[in-house]
């Protein structure tokens, strides 16, 4: 099953909670500020993400979204 991972950078306060709980060490804090003056996270190693949603559950600011990608069934005639 495929998932789409989305970070709303302008909601992120750069608290690092999600960075610390990620079991795959995927996330890092950016060195560029967002519109609110915080340093948001980004997926530094997206290929290692297993879509476990631990970071999503941990974020107090709902800055992370993980959604399932529904793949269209190919229509066979």
Does residue number 22 form part of the binding site for ligand SF4 (CB under 6 A)? yes
Tokens of 21: 């709980």
Q: Give the shortest CB-28-to-ligand SF4 separation in angstroms.
A: 10
Residue from 24, 36, 44, 65 touching ligand SF4 (CB under 6 A): that is 24
Does residue number 53 form part of the binding site for ligand SF4 (CB under 6 A)? yes
Q: Give the shortest CB-2-to-ligand SF4 separation in angstroms.
A: 13
Looking at residue 13, the DSSP 8-state letter turns out to be -
CB-based contact 9:40 (threshold 8 Å)? yes
Helix (H) or strand (E) holding 58: helix 54-58
Token pair 């999600």: residue = 18
DSSP E strands, the chain: 2-7, 27-29, 41-43, 64-69
Residues touching ligand SF4: how many (CB under 6 A)? Answer: 24
Interaction site with ligand SF4 (CB under 6 A): 12-18, 22, 24, 26-27, 41, 49-55, 58-59, 61, 63-64
């Amino acid at each position: 099953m495929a998932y789409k991972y989305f970070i709303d950078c302008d909601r992120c306060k750069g608290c690092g909670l999600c960075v610390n709980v990620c079991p795959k060490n995927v996330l890092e804090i950016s060195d560029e500020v967002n519109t609110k003056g915080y340093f948001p996270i980004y997926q530094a190693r997206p290929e290692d993400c297993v879509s476990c949603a631990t970071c999503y559950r941990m974020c107090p600011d709902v800055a992370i979204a993980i959604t399932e990608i529904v793949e269209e069934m190919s229509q066979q005639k």
